Amino acid sequence: MGYCRLKKKKAKDHQEGYKQTLHLLQIELVKLQNQIIKSDSKILVLLEGRDSAGKDGVIKRIVQHLSPRETRVVALGKPSDRDRTEWYFQRYTPHLPAAQEMVLFNRSWYNRAGVERVMSFCSDAQYYEFLETVGSYEQLLVRSGIKLFKYYLDIDREEQKRRLKARRRDPLKQWKISPIDSVAQEHWDEYSKARNIMFSRTHHLSAPWNVVRANDKKVARLNIIKDLLFRIEYKGKDEQLVSPDPNVVFPFEEACLAKGLLAP
């Protein structure tokens, strides 16, 4: 077999393996949703990360076969003039899950610690107030019975550059292009600094951060789903299937910065 044919066969096998594993994990997600409904649970998943990190793709695979009545995706747009006069968390609070619901935030209140900070969309006072109060806000959510999971999808600079370039060329992804995307590479270092501060200041026992190495989109998707399933108890769980790769998804700790486990 020639090199090209062998390469294509490996790629095909990899794709088939991905599809099979994803299918099995989506069955587990349906099992989980049944448990959420029966137990009146409230699940909240925050997905953060750099532009083009793969948040949309992860969410699409999670909700693909779940009941839309008990599953919601929240992706808020630019705040209105009225929003800017309100308590910062006020525009997010109405979207929190009720009993029997799973809600996924495609970006969340952590906009203030990332894009708003880097692009000067908020003042220094607003930024520091956020860092000081977000932990208390999340503790209130957890004490109210919400199970909160925070994932940050981390990619390196070259991978982001490649994905942004591909996005601009794809006519089906034109809706993803924004003015923020066009300057993402220019502000790479500022985003890294903001990310590191966010982790250090907002990682706490009630709502810890989980880092996802997302250079490989498919591997990241599978492991986020596995990690979420692993962390929540439900009837009929396939324990072996839902065991995530600790080299792909892992809890944040200060040592991550010193060991270079995050993209610089």
Residue 182 is predicted with a pLDDT of: 81
Name which CATH class applies to 10-258.
alpha beta
pLDDT over 80 (residue 188): yes
pLDDT at residue 15, rounded to an integer: 83
Q: In this prediction, what percent of the chain has a pLDDT beyond 90? A: 86
User: Within 10 Å of residue 264's Cβ, how many Cβ atoms?
Assistant: 10
Q: Which two tokens stand for residue 96?
A: 């929190």
Arithmetic mean of pLDDT, 83-96: 97
pLDDT of residue 172: 86
So what's the pLDDT on residue 57?
A: 97
* Per-residue confidence (pLDDT) for residue 12, from 0 to 100: 65
Residue 6 pLDDT > 50? no
- Ranges of each domain in the chain: 10-258
Residues 194-246 pLDDT 10s: 999 999 999 999 999 999 999 999 999 999 999 999 999 999 999 999 999 99
Give me the residues paired with residue 48 across strands.
152
Task: Report the C-alpha gap between 41 and 67 in whole angstroms.
Answer: 15
Q: What is the pLDDT, as a whole number, of residue 3?
A: 47
The one-letter amino acid at 54: G
Q: At which residue do the structure tokens 């649970």 appear?
A: 41
Report whether pLDDT(264) > 70: yes
Kindly state the average pLDDT of the residues 33-53: 97
225 vs 243: CA distance, rounded Å: 10
Is 90 exceeded by the pLDDT of residue 13?
no
Q: Is 167 exposed, middle or buried (0-12, 13-18, 19+ CB in 10 A)?
A: middle
pLDDT band, very low/low/confident/very high, at 90 (cuts 50, 70, 90): very high
Query: What is the rounded average pLDDT for all residues in the chain?
Result: 94
What pLDDT does 54 receive?
Answer: 97
pLDDT band at 16 (very low <50, low <70, confident <90, very high): confident
What's the pLDDT at 10?
55
Task: Give the burial class of 11: count Cβ atoms within 10 A of its Cβ; 0-12 exposed, 13-18 middle, 19 or more buried.
Answer: exposed
Q: What is the pLDDT of residue 234?
A: 97
Q: Which residues are CB-neighbours of 232 under 8 A, at least 6 positions away?
A: 32, 35, 43, 147
Q: Does residue 11 surpass a pLDDT of 70?
A: no
* pLDDT value at 178 more than 60: yes
